[in-house]
Structure 1
Amino acid sequence: MTIHPHIAVDASAPAEPPADLTDFVPVPVSERHDGWTPDKQRTFIEVLADTGSVPAAAKAVGMGVEGAYRLRRRADAAGFAEAWDAAYGMMTRRLTDAAFARAIHGVTNPVYHAGEVVGERVQYDERLTRFLLERHDPHGYGRLMGCDPRWVEARDVLQPRIRKLPHLLARLFGLAGDPRPEDAAPLGLAPPPKTRRR
């Protein structure tokens, strides 16, 4: 879908992770029982997919976090790195499912009276619900809210770029921070000169 002649929005869904995350070519390592053996590499990926935690995955195979990152950085670690990214993709799917469950069923919290639990209350997060609707059904939800869904998609594309603008301007003028008004003058950003009161 094209929002602007120079801005194309890709509304396609993210690629599904492979069915078997351990189906990759392990990084070739020396045959040491205390090293990153192929079995340890596959177990690391499995635990990473289940927990989303590099420290937990490294601990599960008796290895260190820094060692895991060093292994990933190796030139011959393409398969391991792709499996790592796929594991994060699977964790993202699990987080999405959990967010939908909270939006639909709410979160149950205990109700206390005089220091004792006397009941429970289900609380719903309307902002979470709205976010999920905007992200997963921008066309239908946009029409429901009376706005053009193309602007919802365009906003998602433009917002990260707008946040980078002060930094890019600072780099353009060789400044440590945001550009000063006088430095921004060539771009027509300088404020009008102040006038003295008599």
Structure 2
Amino acid sequence: MADRKTRNRAPASARHAPATPSTPQWIIEEDEPPEPPLDLNTFDPAEFEWRPVPRRPRADGWTPDVQRSFIQALAETGLVEQAARAVDMSVQSAYRLRNAPESGGFARAWQAALASAAQRVLDLAFTRAIEGDEIPLFDRDGCRVGARWKVDNRMAMFILRAYMPDRFRHAHENVVQPGERPAPPLPPVAEAVAALTPPTPSAPHLLTEPERMENLILGARGRAEVYELYPPDDRERYRVPRREEDHPRATARASARRRRAFARPLGPGDVRITPDRGVERGAGDDDEPG
């Protein structure tokens, strides 16, 4: 099937309508003789987007370009939510497309992207084993006051067993059951992304009867004009998740504690930051030593 990319034309019936006082101006301007019959041997196939089956563009927003961008973002981040945010689509619609019966290519590209993103997981594992995780510290009112770092010793042992099996045991043992067939290898991400778009056969306009192909091309041109004027857009856009706020009671207690602190007078040598980000010093700090 062919879908016309871009073309602004008035309907054939409107182009040949007689000019009357009630005829719109655009009909009068478009009045021209009828077009000659379509010659399938001379027209340009590159004017159309060829697809395996005749269908309208996806109204849910998951166009081939959006699918490719999603897979590439998923391969870079390894996070479905980040990939959905990159293409401004909801996470739920991404999973629905992956689980759809006709979306086998998208599902395979998804798996290839996650396999490529596994390298990022390995990099994070090294970071956790060497630098550790940041553990936030909170005061009694639930407000963050600092952080400490905790090294993941179990992650460090796992990495040592995997990369130094001659010195650390168990990593070299084969866990595959006898007779178990290995899983088929996943294609590279670039190959999986390219497979999302079916290849265009040579001379696709000659694979169908001339009369039927002419009707399909005329229909594709008409739909292209309608889609250009009224583009369908039923996509579920990405929504930023809500951040959990501090408990109101903890916030109120922290505010009361700050008010009490500012109500206390400063002694000699005391310094504090005022609400307007100024500096307040205790009495006697500005006195010059005698």
**Max radius of gyration: which structure?**
2
Please indicate the TM-score interval, normalised by the length of the shorter structure.
Answer: 0.3 to 0.5
TM-score (norm 2): 0.33
TM-score (norm 1): 0.46
